[in-house]
Chains A and B, each alone.
Chain A
Amino acid sequence: MSFDAAISRRTVLGGAAVLAAAGLVAPRAGAQPAAIRLGTLTPLTGAGGSYGPSMRKAMEWVAQEINAAGGVLGHPIRLVSEDDQTNPEAAVRAARKLIDVDKVAAIMGTWASAVTTAVAPLCWESKTFLTTVSGSDTITQLPHQGYLIRTQPNTHLQIGKLAEFLLALKVKRVFTLAAQTPFAVPSHKRLEEILPRGGTEVAGIVVYDKDKTTFRSEIDQALRSKPDMIYLNGYTPDCTVLMKELFKAGYTGGKVAQGYAVNAKLLGSLPREVTDGTYTATPSPAVESAGYKRLARALGTDDLDPYSCQCHDHISLVALAIAHANGEATGTAVRDHVRKISQGNGQKIDSAVEGLKLLGHGKAINYEGASGPCDFTDAGDILDCKIRFDQAQQGKFKFVKMI
């Protein structure tokens, strides 16, 4: 939604330009200080529809906070938001509009790996920065020339820590039930690489079609190998079914899942006896971060989903990078400056507003966000990240440990 009347006026004019279909040049901003235009591209319909809305809300909140505190070096942020419909075709059209009509410096919040991979070439070709929460390892291997970062840890990092956690639990046999995603098999391979070293057996994997209504045969196959831990590597809708069916099947062993799949909403929609005991793994800041708490308060929830936290960090990082580049609101400026505010020896901060203030005073900063430390490799992957493990108890998450 628009933050000020100017946005809707702009979009109306933009719409008129297209409606006229006469190749008009987009109207320039008026007399007020030039706004910094940033785009959000999250799934509001389709399979990702349960994640996208709060991701977008998180970004809108940060933009509001920054603007209320005087903007980025006096320039207000104007957020232009589009729905990627969880579909690459629709996403490409939406991204073209964000890039060409709205001339955004960055597109933030793409969720599905296929959407990110489809949109990425448009971004690097037009020198627009792209920030994503997609998990597929192949995304950072694209020839993106630095115009891409992702805050979701890759499988190497994430599953490495998960394996460490499972070894500490001294589980004997782990079976994976994975939705068909680009990271299903790589995750399993990573487990196979680490777990046997600590004496834990990797019993097997079933990759399932996530739109199925029942996974009884998949579960039978898993239970035949008598695991004492089942790794549910899917999304919320299919994990809901799996949890119910594991309970029905009388399975009493351990369950572990990603925090974005088994989240507060899932706990709320299922009886406690079905969910209790399930461990979740969530990329997380090193301490009980103040940024996380503020965002949780702003969005009115106790349990923020990891994607919203990551989107909170996307826009914060982009805004800080633009400020570090002396207000140059381009994708190239963000690319060249984002690592100068996200990592290094500067003062640790967890909010964009605070960081902008410090940058204004000429201080060096190191942004540590609501989703983690946000330090990036040259390829755009998270350098290192603490993974927070929780356990569902009495229908609520209880903190277990941080690895």
Chain B
Amino acid sequence: MPGSLEQIAQLAVNGLVAGTVLAVPAIGFTAIYAVLRFPNFSVASHATIGAFAGYVVNTAWHWPAWAAVAAAFVVAGAAGVVNDRLVLRPLRPAGALTTAIGAVALTIVLENVVRFVFGNDLRGYDLPIRRDWQWGPLRIGPQQVENLVIAVVAMLAVFVFLAFTRTGKAMRAVADDTTLASLKGIDAERVARLTNFGGMGLAGVGGMLLGLDTSIDPLTGFRVILSVFAAAVVRGAIAGLAGAGVPHGGRLRRHPARADAAPARPPR
């Protein structure tokens, strides 16, 4: 029946649309995971921070949408660098899972910092909402197409950066073996800073895109965080890569079946 075929096609489009919103923060999550080797659950609150940063510049300063997205990237990225330096970096020697637990704690603290400053009220951007395009039986929104473009661009940018730039190669080296990288004169700290800036910046952009589709409040990031993790896991598993956009080559990651000695240990 053509009717049900159309329905399936539309469901696929809807799924893609839902996925692209999650893709951007998921890329941020996997980028950090690939380099710093711990699941940084605080992408949730950094997404919220990005949504609020975009909200402030859009509604209070009347910046246009693209500038709000840029602000979301920069503010969330900067917050990511600061939070990592102050909170998570000191925990890293204790192992990946200790750091992950620290990231969970961090995300609760940040969510409540946002709540402390902005309260619980729901907010929205001062941007028009556009009708969907109708292509025959299928419909898709301009916003969703833009989300898709942003996601693809972000993915490409991460890929190109990691594969072709000197810094990107340094990042991969750090991801591969921190000790070896430092022996080769790569500044692991600088790499960590860059990774956090880029990764959390993407989380912030993702938060802003989420805010466009849903609403902006202290729980904007937290509501979707499980789907973001799921997206990241699926992406990692399907691609067999150490995260989105990271190409194969060399000993990029340890065999997934092998439990890492360091991460799998509780603090002692």
Contacts and interface: CB of A to CB of B under 8 A. Distances in A.
A203 interface: no
A270 B129 contact: yes
Interface in B52-107: none
Given A213-B213, A214-B14, A216-B14, A271 B132 contact: no
Interface in A149-185: none
Contacts of A211: 223-224
A160 to B, nearest CB: 30
A186 to B, nearest CB: 26
A269 to B, nearest CB: 3
Interface string B123-146: 110001111101000010101000
Nearest to B227: A213
Interface centre among A45, A216, A241, by most chain B C-beta atoms within 10 angstroms, is A216
B129 A49 contact: no
Contacts of B178: none
B131 A241 contact: no
A214 B11 CA distance: 12
A213 B18 contact: yes
B219 A220 contact: no
A220 B129 CA distance: 18
A230 B225 CA distance: 30
Contacts, number: 89
Given A220-B14, A248-B129, A249-B132, A213 B223 contact: yes
A248 B14 CA distance: 13
Contact of A265 (B11, B14, B121, B129): B121
Contact of B120 (A49, A216, A266, A270): A49
Interface string A226-251: 00000000001100110010011110
B175 interface: no
A299 interface: no
A211 B132 CA distance: 22
A103 to B, nearest CB: 30
Interface centre among B10, B14, B134, by most chain A C-beta atoms within 10 angstroms, is B14
Contacts of A269: 122-124, 215
B134 A250 contact: yes
B115 interface: yes
B172 to A, nearest CB: 32
Contacts of A74: none
A213 B139 contact: no
B210 A213 contact: yes
Interface in A259-292: 265-266, 268-271, 273-274
Contacts of B130: 248
A6 to B, nearest CB: 27
Interface in A304-363: none
B115 A49 contact: yes
20 contacts: A49-B217, A49-B219, A50-B122, A212-B18, A213-B213, A213-B214, A214-B17, A214-B21, A220-B14, A241-B214, A244-B213, A248-B129, A248-B130, A248-B131, A248-B132, A250-B134, A265-B121, A271-B129, A273-B129, A274-B129
Closest 9 CB pairs of A and B: A269-B124, A49-B120, A216-B14, A240-B215, A50-B120, A248-B132, A211-B223, A217-B14, A214-B18
